[in-house]
Amino acid sequence: MMMGVELAFPKVVGKQVYGSLYECDEDVLKDTKRLEQIIKEAADIGNMNILDIKSWKIGEGVSVVAIILESHITIHTWPEYRFATVDVYSCGPHTSPLNAFRYIVEKLGAKRYTINEADRSSEF
């Protein structure tokens, strides 16, 4: 019999990368079509599978949600403050929410941003 070590992995492996983006490109923050394109590209870069993208104009700003097979990506923008918040929440070790987040930061032209990570894995 082989000696072995039993490794336990959670059944649902999830990670969320989120943050605040400052001094962004105001024109991009207003541009629904451009934001939808950016969120699509970010999902590709993070190796996620997009099911749907929806957006809503809220005043000057836009809220964009990508529902991905692995959970979701959201961007909320406040062009009047050149401010946006981004959440990339994805399940599965094949995905890279960090790469997707960084891509969005770059494309929104943020001069400064905060970044946080939350473990969204199950305990079992």
Residues binding a second copy (CB under 8 A): 11-12, 14, 16, 18, 20, 22, 51-52, 54, 56, 58, 63, 65, 67, 69, 71-72, 74, 76, 78, 81, 83, 85, 87, 89, 91, 114, 116, 118, 120, 122-124
Residue 41, both tokens: 């590209």
24, 71, 90, 96: which is the annotated catalytic residue?
A: 71
21 and 76 in contact (C-beta within 8 Å)? Answer: no
Give the residue with the Cβ less far from a second copy, 61 or 96. Answer: 61
20, 55, 72, 76: which is the annotated catalytic residue?
A: 76
Does 76 qualify as catalytic in the annotation? yes
Does 122 qualify as catalytic in the annotation? no
What distance in Å separates the CA atoms of residue 26 and residue 80, rounded to the nearest whole number? 8
Closest CA to 58 of 23, 30, 19: 30
24, 90, 91, 96: which is the annotated catalytic residue?
A: 91
The DSSP secondary-structure symbol of 46 reads T
What distance in Å separates the CA atoms of residue 76 and residue 66, rounded to the nearest whole number? 12
Q: Which residues are catalytic?
A: 71, 76, 91
